[in-house]
Structure 1
Amino acid sequence: MKMIFYLFLGSICGLITGLFPGIHPNNIIALSFLISPYLKEGYPFFLISLVVTHYFINFIPSAILGVPDDETSASVLPMHRLTLEGRAYEAIFLAGLGSYLGVVFSLIISFVIILLSLDINLFYKSIKFLLPIILILFIIHQLLSAKNIYDILTIFLSGIFGIIVFYLNPSFNITLTAVFTGMFGIPLLLNNILGSKKFVDQSFNKVKLKFGYLKSSFFSSLLGFIRIFLPAVSGAQLNFILGKIIKEEDIENFLISQGSIVLSNEVFSLLAIFFIGTGRSGTAKALENLDLNINILLISVLIASTLSFLLLINLSKYLILYLKKVNLKFLSIFFIILCSLIIIFGSLNYGLIYHIVIYLTSICIGLIAIRGNLSNMINVLTFPTILMLVIG
């Protein structure tokens, strides 16, 4: 019963943080250490539930306002598109369902690995050489698919910018937040200001479930597993690769896939403690030195995900109905100010002027990209990752 209490407490905190764009989970973890002495043995369950719930609930601002973090940026544009068609609830439900399925498949895959006593490090060595080749091929695909000069500019500007920020200079959590909020978030919020004053009327039709969702979620979870060997690769990059494999025209299936990879990333990042001896996320690093049984970890993740999914589908209905009464322009201005303040205060100890320049440059690239294909901005991570994998 104590575990359930701490998981519930973590869900409440994750609910609050998930609703505010620009807050990175690793920043939350740093603050959570302040209350860890009071939670004692319940701290691991609180932390797991907080982060899992944060990622589930974060789909709400991603869909309604179009402000992502580094994990959800690939799914923001399809979600925002459905919102403009009056299908915000469907977009949030599908992303949430994909996330829940991703957790379930991740746990199944983990159980098989444990049962068969597979040598994970040997598997890593056999696939490591493939990733830079795949990333280069997708850049070539982007260039061949470019529809206008803005697409080509976005590919190279974001890529060169990424090399400068993430390869040639030290980066922090606030650096990622500044880049992704500036590129993917602020331009869409500016569009909201220039557009309609009210949200598009939304429908709440029952979402039709398809068997194909299971297949998409399973393969997405496998990609989430591969990520534990590639710390230089973000969830957004894997989302981008998957989006090219699973055609974006099938927007519902795409959202299932994106939701799955976001949560499977987090689950396998935690399980990396047991599989390869080190965690692959801020949450995992915080749990590394704590005495946590893998079976208890798996159970707590499943319970936290169930609570989070139920919170997501019920809260999103209420918020979508409430937002009909809100002036979209004022709300967008509020979140532009909020995101900017988060960048300013979050970078006080990490080079304030440097991060303001990064933030403003990211916004400029985003404003160029909005005239073409916004997904091309993912090269801000792809270019430096290729260099890290090839050169080191």
Structure 2
Amino acid sequence: MLSGIVLGTVFGIGCGAVSGLVPGIHANTMAGVLLSLQALLLAWFDPVFVASAMFSTLVTHTFLDCVPSTFLGIPDADTSLAVLPAHALCLEGRGEEAVRISALGSAAGVALSLPLALAFVLVLPSLQPAIDWGIGLVILAVAGYLIVVSESPGWALAVFAVSGILGLFSLGYAFLSWPAGGESGVLMPLLSGLFGVAVLLKASHGAMPAQHFPGIELPRDAIRRGSLLGSAAGALVGWLPGLSSATANALLTSVVGYDSNPREYILATSAANTVNAFLGLAAFYAVSRTRNGVMAAIGALEEMPPATAILLAGAMAAVGAYLLTLLFSRTAGRFSGLNVTSLNYGVIAFVVCLSLFLCGPFGGLVLLLATAVGYVPSLVNVRRVYCMGAIMVPVMAYSFGLA
């Protein structure tokens, strides 16, 4: 079994590197490919190899998805808000620092997720019915708080409501999109329009400043606080149904501002992203709930391996992914001197083509509408976090049985 775990981990790290570094490809996509090749893989390997590869892909993805969001400004479904401070640091010449902070946050998330998973498995299954009922109330309370403390509550509510309606429309009519993107493929044009294209259209011009790395400018207290807050948010969305790392990003803005504390916010969201993966596995084994496509793929295997084997694979994958993330952070220097305007337009063209490829004309429509909505916060001087209504409103509707 140990050889299957090790080989599956190495294979999964490779798959996770592809999904993390190539925008538009998610770990769920790679897990689906592995599941379709199950019969072929089982002819050579045991089931623990396949399961280890799937979970290692997910863990590696949570480490490396910060690279394209930092250097190119393209948000992944799990890094929608984190792309704002990370790409801003890159435009200040601190891209490598942003990626290294993200890697540090993910590593802290791995260390904290293992005891959290054990505690959740022992305590929460008996409380699951009450927890399921209260999800919408928690999200509603957080959204209400964020709107009330806004500089302009009226505009904040308007942006939140309109983006929420757009989210309901996009997810409700996702069946109109092409199957290439999978069931949740519409999230790519939705979040890319709100947090990618809309931001790049307003981005600075000129040449990319020289990239340098003098060190991580983050006090130890901020590292501890960000790690704990991010892990708590990741544990929450990892266990509760209907939530995702994008929801954790929005929750964290109520305690860590991405504009006032960008480095701590990057660290916290990265920790949340990785903890979400591990707690999703715990929820799968404890209460048989699938929180993402990777868990669904593992559940579809002909033989379920023990949870300890998959957790071991995830821990080993985290070590490899951390080293890979540090390696790719050094590519920041290649962006020095690039024309920012040309780079932004090139990224926008890539996002448009990718949206059309994954979701067809419907994806193009969603991207256009999301870009228009995402452009509003900069015009009325409210934070872009209120665009997270596109995720939070559908989650509330699902929790209250309205969708």
User: Which segment drifts farther, 299-308 or 338-347?
Assistant: 338-347
Task: Say whether 1:74 aligns with 2:81.
Answer: yes
User: In structure 2, how many angstroms separate the alpha carbons of the residues matched to 1:302 and 1:19?
Assistant: 20
User: In structure 1, how many angstroms separate the alpha carbons of the residues matched to 2:262 and 2:232?
Assistant: 20
Q: Secondary structure of the equivalent of 2:273?
A: helix
Listed one character per residue, the Cα deviations across residues 290-324 of structure 1 (whole Å, up to 9, x for unaligned) are: 4211111111101101110111012111x201122
2:132/2:241 contact within 8 Å kept: no
Q: Which residue of 2 aligns with 1:259?
A: 270
Task: Say whether 1:324 aligns with 2:336.
Answer: yes
Please report how far the alpha carbon of residue 228 of structure 1 lies from its aligned counterpart in structure 2 after TM superposition.
Answer: 4.1
State the number of aligned residues.
382
Report the TM-score, using the length of structure 1 for normalisation: 0.88
Please report how far the alpha carbon of residue 152 of structure 1 lies from its aligned counterpart in structure 2 after TM superposition.
Answer: 4.7
Please report how far the alpha carbon of residue 366 of structure 1 lies from its aligned counterpart in structure 2 after TM superposition.
Answer: 1.5
User: In structure 2, how many angstroms separate the alpha carbons of the residues matched to 1:68 and 1:167?
Assistant: 22
Please report how far the alpha carbon of residue 176 of structure 1 lies from its aligned counterpart in structure 2 after TM superposition.
Answer: 0.9
Task: Say whether 1:120 aligns with 2:124.
Answer: yes
Q: Which residue of 1 aligns with 2:9?
A: 7
Listed one character per residue, the Cα deviations across residues 175-205 of structure 1 (whole Å, up to 9, x for unaligned) are: 111201121111233344xx33421222211
User: In structure 2, how many angstroms separate the alpha carbons of the residues matched to 1:84 and 1:353?
Assistant: 33
Task: Say whether 1:138 aligns with 2:142.
Answer: yes
1:341 to 353, 378, 396: 353
Listed one character per residue, the Cα deviations across residues 199-244 of structure 1 (whole Å, up to 9, x for unaligned) are: 1222211225614423432343233233244322222112211221
Task: Say whether 1:84 aligns with 2:91.
Answer: yes
1:24/1:173 contact within 8 Å kept: no
1:92/1:313 contact within 8 Å kept: yes
1:201/1:324 contact within 8 Å kept: yes
1:206 to 201, 215, 219: 215
Q: Which residue of 2 aligns with 1:65?
A: 72
Report the TM-score, using the length of structure 2 for normalisation: 0.86
User: In structure 2, how many angstroms separate the alpha carbons of the residues matched to 1:168 and 1:121?
Assistant: 33
Please report how far the alpha carbon of residue 25 of structure 1 lies from its aligned counterpart in structure 2 after TM superposition.
Answer: 2.5
2:235/2:279 contact within 8 Å kept: yes
1:27/1:173 contact within 8 Å kept: no
Please report how far the alpha carbon of residue 167 of structure 1 lies from its aligned counterpart in structure 2 after TM superposition.
Answer: 5.0
1:10/1:46 contact within 8 Å kept: yes
Please report how far the alpha carbon of residue 62 of structure 1 lies from its aligned counterpart in structure 2 after TM superposition.
Answer: 1.1
Task: Say whether 1:53 aligns with 2:55.
Answer: no
Q: What are the ranges of 5 or more consecutive residues in structure 1 without an aligned counterpart?
A: none
Amino acid at match of 1:205: P
User: In structure 1, how many angstroms separate the alpha carbons of the residues matched to 2:194 and 2:341?
Assistant: 19
C-alpha RMSD of the superposition: 2.5
Task: Say whether 1:381 aligns with 2:391.
Answer: yes
Listed one character per residue, the Cα deviations across residues 20-46 of structure 1 (whole Å, up to 9, x for unaligned) are: 222233223223334444433222222
2:377 to 357, 360, 369: 369
1:187/1:370 contact within 8 Å kept: no
Identity %: 22
Amino acid at match of 1:23: I
Task: Say whether 1:311 aligns with 2:324.
Answer: yes
- 1:152-171 → structure 2 map (5 Å cutoff): 152-167=157-172
Summarize the Cα distance change of 1:81–1:151 in structure 2 as closer, same or farther, 3 Å threshold.
farther
User: Which segment drifts farther, 214-223 or 357-366?
Assistant: 214-223
Summarize the Cα distance change of 1:113–1:55 in structure 2 as closer, same or farther, 3 Å threshold.
closer
User: In structure 2, how many angstroms separate the alpha carbons of the residues matched to 1:329 and 1:62?
Assistant: 17
- 1:278-297 → structure 2 map (5 Å cutoff): 278-288=289-299, 289=301, 290-297=303-310
Task: Say whether 1:302 aligns with 2:315.
Answer: yes
Summarize the Cα distance change of 1:129–1:343 in structure 2 as closer, same or farther, 3 Å threshold.
same
Q: What are the ranges of 5 or more consecutive residues in structure 2 without an aligned counterpart?
A: 178-182
2:113/2:231 contact within 8 Å kept: yes
